[in-house]
Amino acid sequence: DRIAPHRVFSGNRPSLTILYRKLDPRTLGRIIALYEHRVFVEGTLFNINSFDQWGVELGKELATGLLPVVEGKETAANRDASTAGLVGHIHHLRGSE
């Protein structure tokens, strides 16, 4: 079957991961400000629609599927090396590995 381009990621693209030991109001505020600024600047620089909802919906689907792995209810064995490594680091920081 043919899948619409906005429903898939081709993979092998850079991503940004932010890990923190404790979520407090200051940390949350910094994360929100960082992403608000990043979305605005990248949209301006690349002349793109920064608020493309198809990408948001796909991100939600991918995150929902990954949640059981992060929670330790499923294994990361069937994930790509980058995702498995990141999940392993999250588990290490939480003391579950």
Which whole number is the average pLDDT over 54-81?
88
Among the residue ranges 3-12, 36-45, 70-79, 87-96, the one predicted with the least confidence is 3-12
Does the pTM of the predicted model rise above 0.85? no
Per-residue pLDDT, 87: 92
Asked whether residue 4 carries a pLDDT value surpassing 90, the answer given is: no
Asked whether residue 59 carries a pLDDT value surpassing 70, the answer given is: yes
> What is d(CA 43, CA 25) in angstroms, rounded to the nearest whole number?
27
Output the DSSP codes for the chain: ----GGG-------------S---HHHHHHHHHHHHHHHHHHHHHHT--TT-HHHHHHHHHHHHHHHHHHTTSS-STTS-HHHHHHHHHHHHHHT--
The domain ranges of the chain are 5-94
Are 22 and 94 in contact by the 8 Å Cβ rule? The answer is no
